């Protein structure tokens, strides 16, 4: 019994030790977050890019979260120009919150939470990309500084350091592509499908005038071109390569920094075609009988230009908001391309590329020349296909007909009847996947 005094002492000390440990644990749990880290999720929508989610890092695990406690302030800045207050500062609306992992996947318990933000075409403050028209320093769509401060009003925790950025679909692309032909340097992004023993087709997308530069992420995200790597579109082709070239200026550059609508040659088509051939050569799994080219506006011009110059090379074309003036296309050229499958997409109210000067005369001349596989989806307006902002009563700018291309919402021909393949109605992507040079 000589150890009895020690046992009695331990009995008295144990509650004190436990209390001390509990105080340390409580202190850690209640420790205030003042410079927390967050991950920003940026997605491409029909109208462009927007911040859609914020993933907050926590010191400890949680199992519940209340979205009403979270307040998000945004500050935007750029060296392009001074922004007005409404463009530079604002608040982002939080729709809901849930416990997640560091990739925004829902979990029952974890040390991250995800805030889902309200996104809409008229909520431009939540976009980290801005369009600058006619700016002498910057031109077109550009990334801007996008700084968030997220506050938990219930405990004054603050997150204000962006740790990571997730851009769904864009993250599937390699953005490092560079190609030089003579004195022309082009950048590009590309997506490679999971390899199989079969060869895969190649989809080429040519951006509009607002996506030029040397950062291919702009060409992918500013008007949702990354969607060609989406599972929904890839399924039509059983997997397809996607190549998105980018011009330093704009595809319709006549060599003097001015626009050509077809009356004179542009400076980029030769180098662009060399880039495409080089890419196909370096990727032997590309099926060179199934190479498809499409683009919007400036890219619509270049799509038709490449088909005019190389009608034998492409299995199909899908230009939207065509910027090529019909008066600059000769009857001989119409005869040359009449056997190339082409599906045009345009809106009747396009003020930039009026239909009667561009796509309608080209389409009618092809039909008159007995083109067997030429189609035109001509929409009255470019509307809200998501039905979230008014549906048919919400009209985007009439030039934005590429929305229908990227989302595969083209089904009707110029006369309003469904486009058919082997007697069955098809969508744009369903039709394109069936086109093959070996069948010409």
Provide the domain limits for residue 412: 170-439
3-state secondary structure 278-299: HHHHHCCCEEEEEEEEEEECHH
| 47 shares its domain with 105 | yes
Same domain, 162 and 253: no
Alpha-helical regions (H) of 152-191 = none
| CATH classification of the domain holding 116 | 2.60.40.2180
Interatomic CA distance for residues 22 and 30, integer angstroms: 12
- Report d(CA 342, CA 235) in Å as an integer: 21
Q: Which residues contact 253 (CB under 8 A, 6 or more apart)?
A: 247, 259, 260, 266, 267, 268
Strand partners, 1: none
Q: Would you say residue 281 lies in a domain?
A: yes
* 434 in any annotated domain: yes
Tell me which residue has tokens 């604002």. 90
343 and 252 within one domain: yes
Is 5 within a domain? no
Q: Following DSSP, what letter does each residue of 205-235 receive, concatenated? A: EE--GGG-SS-HHHHHHTT-GGGGGSHHHHH
Residue at which a domain ends, from 151, 166, 181: 166
**Of the residues 113, 147, 166, which one is the last residue of a structural domain?**
166
For the chain, what is the domain count? 2
Are residues 175 and 301 located together in one domain of the fold? yes
**Does residue 103 sit within a domain?**
yes
The residue behind tokens 């060599």 is 255
Q: Within this chain, do residues 90 and 204 fall inside the same structural domain, yes or no?
A: no
Nearest to 221 by CA among 269, 173, 279, 164: 173
CB hemisphere CA count around 122 (13 angstroms): 7
Q: 400: closest CA among 147, 210, 229, 161?
A: 210
Q: What is the pTM of this model?
A: 0.92
- Please identify, among 166, 187, 211, the residue that sits at the C-terminal boundary of a domain: 166
What is the distance between the alpha carbons of residues 99 and 421, in angstroms, rounded to a whole number? Answer: 47
Whether 2 is in a domain gets the answer no
CA dihedral (261, 262, 263, 268) positive or negative: positive
Same domain, 147 and 215: no
Per-residue pLDDT of the chain (440 residues; tens, 9 = 90+): 445 444 444 444 444 444 444 443 333 445 678 899 999 999 999 999 999 999 999 999 999 999 999 999 999 999 999 999 999 999 999 999 999 999 999 999 999 999 999 999 999 999 999 999 877 788 899 999 999 999 999 999 999 999 999 999 999 999 999 999 999 999 999 999 998 788 999 999 999 999 999 999 999 999 999 999 999 999 999 999 999 999 999 999 999 999 999 999 999 999 999 999 999 999 999 999 999 999 999 999 999 999 999 999 999 999 999 999 999 999 999 999 999 999 999 999 999 999 999 999 999 999 999 999 999 999 999 999 999 999 999 999 999 999 999 999 999 999 999 999 999 999 999 999 999 998 65
Same domain, 333 and 350: yes
């Amino acid at each position: 019994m000589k150890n009895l005094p020690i046992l009695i002492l331990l009995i008295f000390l144990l509650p004190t030790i436990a209390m001390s440990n509990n105080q340390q644990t409580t202190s850690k749990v209640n420790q205030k977050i003042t410079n927390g880290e967050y991950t920003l999720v940026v997605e491409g929508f029909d109208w462009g890019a927007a911040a859609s989610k914020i993933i907050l890092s926590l010191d400890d695990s949680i199992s519940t979260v209340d979205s009403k406690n979270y307040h998000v302030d945004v500050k935007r800045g750029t060296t392009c120009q001074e922004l007005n207050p409404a463009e530079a500062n604002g608040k982002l609306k939080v729709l809901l919150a849930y416990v997640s992992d560091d990739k925004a996947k829902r979990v029952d318990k974890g040390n991250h939470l995800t805030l889902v933000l309200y996104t809409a075409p008229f909520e431009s403050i939540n976009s980290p990309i801005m369009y600058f028209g006619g700016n002498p320093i910057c031109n077109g769509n550009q990334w801007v500084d996008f700084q968030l401060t997220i506050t938990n009003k219930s405990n004054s925790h603050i997150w204000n350091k962006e740790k990571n950025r997730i851009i769904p679909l864009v993250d599937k692309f390699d953005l490092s592509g560079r190609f030089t032909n003579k004195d022309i340097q082009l950048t590009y992004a590309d997506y490679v499908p999971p390899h199989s023993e079969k060869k895969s087709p190649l989809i080429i997308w040519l951006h509009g005038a607002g996506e030029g530069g040397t950062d291919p992420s702009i060409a992918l995200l500013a008007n949702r071109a990354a969607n060609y790597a989406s599972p929904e579109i890839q399924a039509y082709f059983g997997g397809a390569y996607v190549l998105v070239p980018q011009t330093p200026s704009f595809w319709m550059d006549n060599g003097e920094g001015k626009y050509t609508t077809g009356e004179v040659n542009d400076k980029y088509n030769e180098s662009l075609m060399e880039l495409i051939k080089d890419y196909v050569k370096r990727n032997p799994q590309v099926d060179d009988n199934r190479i498809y080219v499409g683009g919007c506006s400036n890219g619509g011009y270049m799509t038709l230009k490449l088909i005019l110059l190389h009608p034998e090379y492409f299995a199909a074309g899908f230009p939207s908001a065509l910027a090529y003036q019909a008066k600059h296309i000769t009857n001989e050229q119409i005869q040359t391309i009449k056997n190339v499958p082409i599906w045009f997409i345009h809106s009747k109210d396009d003020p930039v590329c009026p239909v009667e000067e561009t796509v309608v005369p080209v389409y009618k001349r092809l039909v008159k020349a007995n083109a067997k596989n030429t189609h035109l989806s001509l929409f009255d307006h470019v509307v809200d296909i998501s039905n979230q902002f008014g549906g048919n009563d919400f009209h985007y700018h009439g030039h934005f007909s590429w929305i229908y291309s990227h989302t595969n919402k083209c089904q009707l021909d110029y006369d309003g009847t469904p486009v058919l393949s082997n007697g069955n109605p098809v969508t744009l992507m369903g039709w394109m996947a069936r086109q093959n040079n070996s069948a010409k």
